């Protein structure tokens, strides 16, 4: 399902969208905006996961990156 939405952009933002389409990277301004929204959603998720990691506390003293990599490789 697709919803039609009207948005307002600054002149600079509109130019960025137009340039992205003109370069051939995108077929339409809608594609530019959809990708920007996907990136925004991903950035917010990464921030949320980061915050959860920070609030979960420190790792155990023996928990280090080398040990984590060894466990991950063992699961392959």
Residue 61's pLDDT band (cuts 50, 70, 90): low
Query: What separation in angstroms does the CA of 23 have from each of 2, 38, 42, 64, 67?
Result: 25, 20, 25, 45, 46
Residue 48's pLDDT band (cuts 50, 70, 90): very high
Q: Model pTM greater than 0.75? A: no
């Amino acid at each position: 399902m697709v919803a039609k939405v009207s948005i307002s952009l600054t002149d600079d933002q509109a130019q960025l969208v137009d340039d992205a389409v003109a370069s051939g990277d995108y077929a339409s301004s809608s594609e530019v905006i959809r990708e920007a929204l996907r990136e925004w959603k991903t950035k917010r998720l990464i921030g949320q996961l980061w915050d959860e990691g920070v609030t979960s506390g420190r790792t155990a003293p023996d928990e280090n990156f080398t040990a984590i990599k060894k466990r991950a490789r063992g699961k392959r």
